[in-house]
Structure 1
Amino acid sequence: MNRYVVVDLETTGNAAKGGVDKITELAAVVIENGEVHEIFSTFLNPEKPIPPFISELTGIHDEMVQRAPLFRDIAPMIVELLENSYFVAHNVHFDWNFLQEELKNAGYMPPSCPAIDTVELARILLPTSDSYKLGDLAKYFELNHEKPHRADSDAMVTAELFLNLCDKLNDLPLITLQSLYQLSKGFKSDLEELLSFYILNKAEHDPTKQQYDIHRSIALRKNTYAVNLGEKDNISFSMFSKTMAARLKREMPMFEEREGQSMMMQEVYEAFTNARFSLIEAGTGTGKTLAYLIPALFYAYEKEQPVVISTQTVQLQQQILEKEIPLLKRILPFPFEAALIKGRKHYICLHKFEHALSEEDTNYDSILTKAEILVWLLQTETGDVDELNLPSGGRLLWERICSDANMPSKQWGTRCFYQRAKHRVYFADIIITNHALLFHDLNHEESLLSSYEYVVLDEAHHIEEVSSHALGEQFSCLHFQLLLSRIGTLETNDVLTKLYETMDQYHFASLSAFKQINKALKEIKFESDELFRMLRSFLFDRQKHQTEGNIRLVYRYDIQKERGKLWRAITEAADRLSYSLRGVLQQFQEQEVIIEKRMKTSVIAEEFRDLIQSLEEFRSTLVHLLLDEQSDGVTWMEAEAKGTLHSTVIYKQPIDVSEMLADQLFAKRKSVILTSATLTVNGTFDYMIETLGLSDFHPSAMSVPSPFSYEQQVQMMIPTDVPNIKHVSQEEYVQAIAAQISAIAKAANGRMLVLFTSYEMLRQTYAIVKENEALQEFAILAQGANSGSRVRMTKNFQQFEKAILFGTNSFWEGIDIPLSCLVMVRLPFMPPDHPVMAARAAKLKATGKNAFLTLSLPQAVIRFKQGFGRLIRTKEDKGLFFVLDRRITTTFYGSKFTSSIPEIPVYEKPLEQLLAIADS
């Protein structure tokens, strides 16, 4: 192995160019022959003040660097240190760019060093890691990281990380190393020589070869799944219930027996036994998941009747599989099988991946994704993409290599992950799935779940929304454009060209036929762009008042009522596009017949068939949404005001899902348990029962209170000096709440979550708060403003003791982080002009009902309860709950919100007085 110099820098900021920011601390660890050979560390005088936020993050203050050397004093030593070495760093381009800039400013030519980024290397070798931050990787490898964000500690940890990653490389089978080497020219790190070292070591003998299933030059984890068909014992549920607490206590010393959990377990078991439906609201901390899993498994074992567990979120599925199931396998007095099933596109198709590996590729995200998958295949039992932490562009590759409706490839046979997942379902006692698949499965030919008669619906407050989406339709102009791009033309190196070349190899490609298809595809591209341009113009024309700001335009349309020249032009263009698509589909199908007669199965032919099917689905949806009369739903279109002409999406959803759920889901089941922390409104389940079509099934209902002492743990604060949004401009209102949020943050002095109902208001408030110099020691994060997914933003938020997170939509639930303060800016009413809400309100009004009281208010109360639930997650938590919306006390309906949460002290005063109370 070569000489590696692992470097870490602390700086005054991120702007290396032009010497705007400077290095404050430099550390280097020299590795030779796989061992740490030398360590160097020094503070540096940046000759400029260190910003307070940087000092808070790193612990490096101005007085610590005043007497330190200047960079130019140590520059000769740095050049000598790096000679004939690899430059290694975590996020290597940041450190290398800073170092190069400082060397140039000091009058030295930076040495020519090959570079290795430990972030990239970790991405390849740890493809399922949630995070590639240095601190998280240190925890993974159990490395001592005493001083995060200090160069000496970070450099040492990065060196240890690099050595651990080299060990991971050494553990890879030869065939995987060779595949990685083939991809390595596309990596940002210079890994060819490192990979060559391990390949040469294993060329004669590969001790890891026997550990894996090596097939068609790809190494896979060996399939170890086996069904346990042990002897049955007669163990009653009532007998087990008496010993359950003791069993759990043995496995979890911190376990506390909870009366509510026992009540819920009994209710679930009796509901299954008596074939009835049950609604159970279980407050935070009741142990809800175990309370339905244990009786579900007992019933499945006793009656040999599998139970389906459906959740809304992937996080809860993972919790059940990774935490609850292993626990229950240890404490339950009988063996059982659990299976997870998701939609086909979650599973990799090995046949397609094999083909993708053989292609020439210049796209970095695609190359990195292939490398990740090669390593992941050595680990995964499921082949499920949710295990992977894909780079941002990796999803495009996944769309090409995921499983589809075609028959499994003969070359890969029993190794097909989707077929394995289906096989496990057939032998499982409990089947874990998600709401989206469950509802999609209701009307699907390839239905996996329709025959199961016992179901638990967790996170059941989402059922109306998810079922409405699953039972509806949508046409995305962008997705249609991407589909055309994947098909390509004869002038691009895409599927059409590759199909022609493949057929030509077998000497039965008709150039004239492909030229006709080529011409038709170009016409379709032209006609679709014309249609999308007109749709966008139509939307802007109908929503002129919405076009200010970077917001999403929404317009509800009705085919029977729309008039005007532009609408007629749209329908004519849609009709022309449909006609053109039918023509090219017919031409495609003629080629498919030839392929089936003359050619062996190939990946490109399979991809071609997938695209034909997708094109037909797009054509059918477009005709239905723009040309067919609608009588059973609401149709609308949306687009980003500052988006491209392809940003328009057309939707259709049922106005009322209650009858469909009653007929297609509930009527075909013997017993269904619906549970969530938020199912009641005003103390009753009436809203959920009516909305979900449960009236005819006469469900029982149970509320299990939270074991937390909310009265001692939470104070609710309602500032009286927040202006009424109706009496001031939005700009004045935002200025006011930004000032309040800043003052609250200073007083709370910890982690604070601020929940908005409008992204536009969030964006404006965040822009003001982040400029507040009084909050310099706080990390300020905002949904949509900071890069990264919701999960990544949540992890970043958790890393800081003092932090403010601005969130909307998804952040109202699922955040499970200790908070010192929760701020709710507005009561969470859905916009009344949203197409589905407006259509539902109109339908209620037509039947003589008050839409606000029967629809808007119950939905807002449930959302309010979800938001409130973010604050207290354990018995030790304490926090402040600020509501900046005076409607909670000044309107006739405000009490519906306060009575929906546990009794807590409520203070309504000017903010200054509230902060004094909080501090006392």
Structure 2
Amino acid sequence: MPGLGRGERAKLIREFGASIGPLEPADAAARAAEDESIVEASRARLGQLDVALLQQLARMFYGSLLPEARLVEAAFRERARTAFGGAVAPGAGGEREGADDLLAPFSPPAPALQPSRTRKAVDGKAIHAALAPGGSVAASLPGYEARAGQMKMARAVAKALSERLHLLVEAGTGTGKSMAYLLPAVHYAVANGRRVVVSTNTINLQEQLFFKDIPLLRRALPLEFKAAVLKGRSNYLCLRRWRAFVREGFTNDTDRLLAAKILIWLRQTDTGDRSELALDDSESGRWSALLGADAQHCTPKTCRDNRAGRCFLSRARRRAEGAHLLVVNHALLLADQALESKVLPEYADLILDEAHHLEDAATRQLGVEIDQQDLTFFLSQLSLPQGAGRYGGLVSRLLTVLITAGGEPMRSQAGELTQPAHDAVDAARRTLGEFFLALMVFVRGVTETASGPITGEREVRLTDTVRRSEWWEVVEAAWSAFSTDLGQVEKGLVRIGSALDPFRDTSELVDDALADLANARQQLTEFRVDLASIVARSDPATVCWLAVRDRGLALHGAPLEVGGLLQEQLFAQKDCIVLTSATLQVAGSFRYARERIGLDDTTFTLAVPSPFDYPNQALLCVPSDLPDPTTRAFAEASVEALEAICAATGGRTLALFTSHSALRAAHQRLSRTLRRVVVLGQGIDGARQQLLERFRETPNAVLLGTSSFWEGIDVVGDALSCLVIVKLPFSVPNDPVFAARSELLDDPFSQYAVPQAALRLKQGFGRLIRSTGDRGAVVILDTRLLTKRYGETLLRSLPPATRRRGTWREMGPLVMDWLANPPAAQA
């Protein structure tokens, strides 16, 4: 099953028919029985495939010793025997280039929208009728409750679209903000023949909108409308590159498994979107390097898949052109605007959900990150010595194409044309190592001077002061040598391209080779420009730094400020922009959010409170006797307090941390001391989604999470009854971007650090109450909420829960008393 990821037991049961339990058994015999059940389910699934597809799979696995190879060969022989009445060898028949005849049937895209000459306002009465009690939304959604806040937001969005306004909306948890903006957006788009782009930060929300909320709207509304999802080009499989991948054959089992997964998936997919596949890190790297669509290969003039209507990227774009609602992510949206790549069709109206992430998304998208592995992999893709004057990689493939295209006259010249490129890559590989060695010596020198030897992860901001050090002079010299060698690589590639260009348009083999060459040259140019900008710091509006991680050292660059860029390149270009999130206000003010993302004073704002009854649904406890979190004593004391709370609740608890090291320390202790509680740790006990499934299904579980668990998770009901926030989520003061931006402010702590922490804290708090039936307690172990002046600002940013103080030993009993005795009973 191509979309089945490691550890997804629920999907294995539901979609694969395996006879296994929801949790992995501890007993070895039970695990063996489960393995046999999975094998039997695999045999049954393979037996359902047609013989042509099985023959292609058998060819891919030919000569492999993998157990999957034996399963495929047995299934092919059985199907061939019944289909043809005799034995057929897996390798029988001529080698075919690819799998064009094995593609799923394509549904034709809708015609492009035709905007009306005059704009029509959104019908407010229709919006009200749809959301009112007994309206069309209620009729289509069992259990729907009309909410005044949702109605208010929908009217504001309708007004913004109709009158071309910019609107900033904080919609409290439970408002139903997705429906509040989708409903008027559909009415506006259909009435005017214009598309509305909806952008999200996370894949989870993107998929929720497209696969859940938009289908609901289709059932609820008497309007015919089209919706589409569009992602960055590399997310779509390029059939030309896929055929080349298969044509070159497989020298390792990793590529065989990836190819088999894709081949089966091609029979099922209408989109070619990689998100439908469960790819591990290695497979994702191969996809990006060899299979994803890119600007060079995806050219209508030379691509027969494009002309035949098979190109997945082209079809996705045509669907987008015909869509009234187009769902994208912030990264694609920002790249499209900043680089003017025009991946998105023309649009004038934009809704940005998860808008509290916009500044960070712009920082990432407009920044750069390069590590040694990236560069090493790139050079290996160009040329990789294989002994005795033999090479693998692109340059060798170009040699073969030159000989094939040019015939015998080219055979004697081709080696002379390609060898300089091999030599240049070899030289660049050596100076690459010297460059990163110089960088590591620099980091070690700077950090030892400041705070001792390098331990764990470390970031060094490249300020003017550190650039004047003797170690940096060595870095600059090493970069000069590496840059020179990269220039020689470019010359070698240009020489090969000049020899191959006369054969352009003579065959797909040549055109693919030229596209691969153009792609490599573009990547090479980008690497050189980005590295030069970091080493030389040519742009004073950019903050640069080095990061030491488990996988090695990386160079980073990011814009110092993004508000002005967003205003100039996005907000000023659009008629209507609606920005919304559950966390935009700090202590009742939109000022921080507006300033950080560059919105001017003409932007309208709206605060829609949550419909939840927080005083009766949520308890907020803060212990008064724990050490200050900035002291060493806090680490042990906070884990002891967390242990006591988890022992009292017996599970059903989510603990949020601000560092992985603190999480690991807590996991180690709690796993040892809480005998009747299942302790699950992020990065320790499985992938994020797997952990959430186990947490929901295990009543006595405690889940420990860091940054990605502070938002975007939804555990409804009693499965989550207690939320513990170990420490206030302030940014690390020496984080390079945070530190550089702080230097631009008069009072960086009050203007930047506190508002940022307030929004993160509000996001974390929001994990607890997800429906009107939820009830639970939040315990914040950070006493600075009570002892510091800014504590009141943070508290005023949180929902109005019932508050209690006490000693850390009283936290567990307070939580259990709240859970056992609802307010009415307590009264």
Q: Same fold (TM over 0.5)?
A: yes
Q: Answer yes or no: is 1:672 the counterpart of 2:586.
A: no
Q: Which residue of 2 aligns with 1:542?
A: 446
State the shift of 1:322 in Å: 0.7
State the shift of 1:346 in Å: 0.6
Q: Answer yes or no: is 1:188 the counterpart of 2:55.
A: no
State the shift of 1:457 in Å: 0.3
Whole-Å Cα distance in 2 between the matches of residues 540 and 147 of structure 1?
A: 48
Q: 1:391 to 1:622 in 2, by over 3 A?
A: closer
State the shift of 1:560 in Å: 8.0
SS in 1 for 2:557: strand
Q: Which residue of 2 aligns with 1:741?
A: 642
Identity of aligned residues (%): 30
User: Paired residue for 1:648, among 553, 560, 577?
Assistant: 553
Q: Answer yes or no: is 1:427 the counterpart of 2:427.
A: no
Residue pair 1:490, 1:496 contacting (<8 A) in 2 also: no
Provide Cα deviations, 1:455-486, integer angstroms capped at 9, x if missing partner. Answer: 00000000011112212233322211111111
State the shift of 1:130 in Å: 5.5
State the shift of 1:547 in Å: 6.2
Q: Partner amino acid for 2:444?
A: F
Whole-Å Cα distance in 2 between the matches of residues 651 and 826 of structure 1?
A: 28
Provide Cα deviations, 1:152-190, integer angstroms capped at 9, x if missing partner. Answer: 998998777666544432332332211211233353343
Q: Which residue of 1 aligns with 2:292?
A: 402
Whole-Å Cα distance in 2 between the matches of residues 584 and 441 of structure 1?
A: 30
Whole-Å Cα distance in 2 between the matches of residues 823 and 744 of structure 1?
A: 9
Whole-Å Cα distance in 2 between the matches of residues 510 and 162 of structure 1?
A: 49
Q: Which residue of 1 aligns with 2:824?
A: none
Provide Cα deviations, 1:526-575, integer angstroms capped at 9, x if missing partner. Answer: 11110111111111211225666852211111358722332112112212
Residue pair 1:888, 1:897 contacting (<8 A) in 2 also: yes
Residue pair 2:154, 2:183 contacting (<8 A) in 1 also: yes
Q: Partner amino acid for 1:138?
A: I
Residue pair 1:658, 1:690 contacting (<8 A) in 2 also: yes
Q: Which residue of 2 aligns with 1:366?
A: 255
Whole-Å Cα distance in 2 between the matches of residues 675 and 531 of structure 1?
A: 45
Whole-Å Cα distance in 1 between the matches of residues 508 and 17 of structure 2?
A: 48
Provide Cα deviations, 1:839-889, integer angstroms capped at 9, x if missing partner. Answer: 111111xxxx21111110000000000000111111222222111110011
Q: 1:550 to 1:333 in 2, by over 3 A?
A: farther
Provide Cα deviations, 1:581-631, integer angstroms capped at 9, x if missing partner. Answer: 122202201211211213634244433332221111101111121125332
Q: Which residue of 1 aligns with 2:398?
A: 499
Whole-Å Cα distance in 1 between the matches of residues 385 and 664 of structure 2?
A: 45
Whole-Å Cα distance in 2 between the matches of residues 135 and 456 of structure 1?
A: 34
SS in 2 for 1:716: strand
State the shift of 1:691 in Å: 1.2
Q: Which residue of 2 aligns with 1:911?
A: 808
User: Paired residue for 1:335, among 211, 220, 224?
Assistant: 224
Provide Cα deviations, 1:410-459, integer angstroms capped at 9, x if missing partner. Answer: 34232111111111111111111000111111222422348411000000
User: Paired residue for 2:770, among 859, 873, 877?
Assistant: 873
Superposed, 1:486-525 pairs within 5 Å as: 486-491=381-386, 492-505=391-404, 506-507=407-408, 508=410, 509-525=413-429
Residue pair 1:716, 1:905 contacting (<8 A) in 2 also: yes
Whole-Å Cα distance in 1 between the matches of residues 424 and 39 of structure 2?
A: 53
Provide Cα deviations, 1:648-678, integer angstroms capped at 9, x if missing partner. Answer: 2212212211111111110001110000000
Q: Answer yes or no: is 1:220 the counterpart of 2:125.
A: no
Provide Cα deviations, 1:318-348, integer angstroms capped at 9, x if missing partner. Answer: 1111111211111211111111111111111
Q: Partner amino acid for 1:906?
A: R
Residue pair 2:129, 2:136 contacting (<8 A) in 1 also: no
Whole-Å Cα distance in 1 between the matches of residues 282 and 424 of structure 2?
A: 30
Q: Partner amino acid for 1:384?
A: D
Gaps in structure 2 of 5+ consecutive residues: 87-96, 818-827
Provide Cα deviations, 1:286-333, integer angstroms capped at 9, x if missing partner. Answer: 111111011011111112221110000011111111111211111211
Q: 1:155 to 1:629 in 2, by over 3 A?
A: closer
User: Paired residue for 2:749, among 852, 857, 875?
Assistant: 852
SS in 1 for 2:638: helix
Residue pair 2:424, 2:492 contacting (<8 A) in 1 also: no
Q: 1:183 to 1:132 in 2, by over 3 A?
A: farther
Q: Partner amino acid for 1:651?
A: H
State the shift of 1:218 in Å: 4.8
Q: Answer yes or no: is 1:284 the counterpart of 2:173.
A: yes
Whole-Å Cα distance in 2 between the matches of residues 364 and 804 of structure 1?
A: 39
Whole-Å Cα distance in 2 between the matches of residues 239 and 439 of structure 1?
A: 33
RCO comparison, higher one (Cα < 8 Å, 6+): 2
Q: 1:526 to 1:194 in 2, by over 3 A?
A: same
Whole-Å Cα distance in 2 between the matches of residues 266 and 305 of structure 1?
A: 19
Whole-Å Cα distance in 2 between the matches of residues 148 and 593 of structure 1?
A: 59
Q: 1:230 to 1:757 in 2, by over 3 A?
A: closer
User: Paired residue for 1:171, among 44, 48, 53?
Assistant: 48
Q: 1:361 to 1:257 in 2, by over 3 A?
A: same
- TM-score relative to the length of structure 1: 0.79
Q: Which residue of 2 aligns with 1:617?
A: 526
Whole-Å Cα distance in 2 between the matches of residues 297 and 908 of structure 1?
A: 48
SS in 1 for 2:789: coil
Which stretch of the first structure deviates more once superposed, 621-630 or 427-436?
621-630
Q: Partner amino acid for 1:786?
A: D
Q: Which residue of 2 aligns with 1:345?
A: 234
Q: 1:687 to 1:779 in 2, by over 3 A?
A: same
Gaps in structure 1 of 5+ consecutive residues: 1-125, 206-213
Whole-Å Cα distance in 2 between the matches of residues 403 and 147 of structure 1?
A: 37
SS in 2 for 1:723: coil
Q: 1:566 to 1:549 in 2, by over 3 A?
A: closer
Residue pair 1:174, 1:203 contacting (<8 A) in 2 also: no
User: Paired residue for 1:473, among 368, 376, 390?
Assistant: 368
Whole-Å Cα distance in 1 between the matches of residues 22 and 572 of structure 2?
A: 60
Q: Which residue of 2 aligns with 1:301?
A: 190
Residue pair 2:635, 2:662 contacting (<8 A) in 1 also: yes
State the shift of 1:265 in Å: 0.8
Q: Partner amino acid for 1:419?
A: S
Which stretch of the first structure deviates more once superposed, 333-342 or 183-192?
183-192
Superposed, 1:480-879 pairs within 5 Å as: 480-491=375-386, 492-505=391-404, 506-507=407-408, 508=410, 509-544=413-448, 551-558=456-463, 562-598=467-503, 600-602=507-509, 603-640=512-549, 643=550, 647-696=552-601, 698-727=602-631, 729=632, 732-772=633-673, 775-788=674-687, 790-818=688-716, 819-844=720-745, 849-879=746-776
Residue pair 2:785, 2:792 contacting (<8 A) in 1 also: yes
Q: Answer yes or no: is 1:412 the counterpart of 2:305.
A: yes
Which stretch of the first structure deviates more once superposed, 364-373 or 811-820?
364-373
SS in 1 for 2:743: helix
SS in 2 for 1:393: helix
Q: 1:450 to 1:471 in 2, by over 3 A?
A: farther
Q: Which residue of 2 aligns with 1:250?
A: 139
Which stretch of the first structure deviates more once superposed, 882-891 or 501-510?
501-510
Q: 1:793 to 1:497 in 2, by over 3 A?
A: farther
Whole-Å Cα distance in 1 between the matches of residues 22 and 705 of structure 2?
A: 30
Q: Partner amino acid for 2:52?
A: I
Residue pair 2:646, 2:812 contacting (<8 A) in 1 also: no
Provide Cα deviations, 1:476-506, integer angstroms capped at 9, x if missing partner. Answer: 2221111111112353422222222332344
Whole-Å Cα distance in 2 between the matches of residues 663 and 851 of structure 1?
A: 25
Residue pair 1:484, 1:525 contacting (<8 A) in 2 also: yes
Q: Partner amino acid for 1:524?
A: A
Q: Which residue of 2 aligns with 1:894?
A: 791
Whole-Å Cα distance in 2 between the matches of residues 252 and 130 of structure 1?
A: 31
- TM-score relative to the length of structure 2: 0.88
Whole-Å Cα distance in 2 between the matches of residues 594 and 856 of structure 1?
A: 58
Whole-Å Cα distance in 1 between the matches of residues 212 and 559 of structure 2?
A: 37
Q: 1:434 to 1:135 in 2, by over 3 A?
A: closer
State the shift of 1:240 in Å: 4.6
Whole-Å Cα distance in 2 between the matches of residues 394 and 515 of structure 1?
A: 30
